[in-house]
Structure 1
């Protein structure tokens, strides 16, 4: 049994779904979406390691592998997997490793940067790594959130800033997988082996690399739908929960 803190909402008991949040988030933001999909599925969502009320990452194995293993222990029958950002890459990794465990797969803003190398994004991530290594995690978090977080650093409480700065260590620890595919998710036949209905959902105003990643993944997934949400950026499950829930629902109906 996983030791991740698990949040659960009422829903269709006979059809469990698992929702995985983004880096520096926590599972609570799935609540509005879970409510809108309660007639279709019962959504549970863990706080990922080092987030919310879950324990910290112990330092090994690598952050993405540790997180994937912890989440996989929550799956005891075929489930609908829904993931956002980092959570989308964890859901994708599980679907590649155990396609029989996945009833449907919804990937929201997947950040598997290795799918489509982007020099500009690589440069930004290298800069963030250098800041963390130099002990400037506050500045690294401020810059990271300006691109991916949709929140203002200055608006955070001192405790919130401390938490976000500390979580930059997780950003650095996860990027061996996200940027260099250390988990070999892009291996020949991996994506092609997912036979569940998939949806890739992105925001129209997200960083350009997200659209490129979506193109690269969609070209290899056997059964995939795509949607680009107008007026939305990377944090669309929080900013546009109604529209996101409707699009997830379309993919659930296909399964």
Structure 2
């Protein structure tokens, strides 16, 4: 079922997968859309009803109106769907949205799964964040130079290890990624700084639900460092690594991710 949630300042597009008894809410990564959860949902159809929404400037949701903060606006959209205790999943930037949702409404989050979270402020080794910033420069230069298609191609190359290369992507997919690329710099305040104080002493005390920190074995080295930093802060967390997978692990390895979720939910 597809629908739009219209009571927000900007309605977001929502879709549901499955009709299982366990309600799950999922937040996709930058440059993707809610349909990215289709493969994972198919692995869990016997168990879950998975609800996902398109971030602003993604999929069928409207372009962000540049009012307020980009992450905050998407957190608000997610919280509008968190109407009962649910299992919450986020991938990449979507994982940072999910983390903020859990901080604001922990009583409604039955479990929290952060897949390849790009909350770089939590990295155990800050030098890896510096290295990533240097690797980002060609992408930033292309974006500032008025070439969003090149910027999207470079960004995709950085993060889509094992996924189809840019020329092999369908034109609608390339166009959607080019549309969304302009929001990436606006994510920086939320991922490079600890605005909510989660990393401060006691900042994560409310997150007592089971937490799964998941990444691919072949991802960018900064991601395991982020997960290590989060593991040190979260009181009930564990790390899982999917062999042979990169940053897009939830799309490329849905069966393996589903197995980790089943183990988490059995806790």
TM-score, length-normalised on structure 2?
A: 0.88
Q: Does 1:141 align with 2:152?
A: yes
Unpaired segments of 5 or more residues in structure 1? Answer: none
- In structure 2, the residue matched to 1:253 is 266
Which of these residues, 69, 94, 100, is aligned with residue 101 of structure 2?
Answer: 94
- Alpha carbons of structure 1 residues 160 and 35: separation in structure 2 relative to 1, 3 Å: closer
Q: Write the distance in 1 (CA, Å) between the matches of 2:38 and 2:177.
A: 22
Partner of 1:45, secondary structure, is strand
- In structure 1, the residue matched to 2:12 is 4
Q: Write the distance in 1 (CA, Å) between the matches of 2:175 and 2:38.
A: 25
Pairing 1:164-175 to 2, within 5 Å after superposition: 164-175=177-188
Q: Write the distance in 1 (CA, Å) between the matches of 2:67 and 2:203.
A: 25
- Alpha carbons of structure 1 residues 126 and 61: separation in structure 2 relative to 1, 3 Å: farther
Is the contact between residue 54 and residue 60 of structure 2 (CA under 8 Å) also seen in structure 1? Answer: yes
Unpaired segments of 5 or more residues in structure 2? Answer: 1-6
Q: Report which stretch shifted further, 3-12 or 240-249.
A: 3-12
Q: Does 1:27 align with 2:27?
A: no
The alignment's C-alpha RMSD in Å is 1.8
Pairing 1:92-131 to 2, within 5 Å after superposition: 92-116=99-123, 117=126, 118-131=129-142
Is the contact between residue 11 and residue 37 of structure 1 (CA under 8 Å) also seen in structure 2? Answer: no
Q: Write the distance in 2 (CA, Å) between the matches of 1:170 and 1:110.
A: 17
Report the alpha carbon displacement of residue 32 of structure 1 after superposing the two structures with TM: 2.5
Report the alpha carbon displacement of residue 26 of structure 1 after superposing the two structures with TM: 1.0
Q: Report which stretch shifted further, 196-205 or 139-148.
A: 139-148
Report the alpha carbon displacement of residue 69 of structure 1 after superposing the two structures with TM: 0.9
Q: Report which stretch shifted further, 128-137 or 90-99.
A: 128-137
Is the contact between residue 85 and residue 107 of structure 2 (CA under 8 Å) also seen in structure 1? Answer: yes
Which of these residues, 62, 66, 86, is aligned with residue 55 of structure 1?
Answer: 62
- In structure 2, the residue matched to 1:227 is 240
Report the alpha carbon displacement of residue 183 of structure 1 after superposing the two structures with TM: 4.6
Q: Write the distance in 2 (CA, Å) between the matches of 1:130 and 1:90.
A: 26
Report the alpha carbon displacement of residue 187 of structure 1 after superposing the two structures with TM: 3.8
Q: Write the distance in 2 (CA, Å) between the matches of 1:161 and 1:30.
A: 18
Pairing 1:230-245 to 2, within 5 Å after superposition: 230-245=243-258
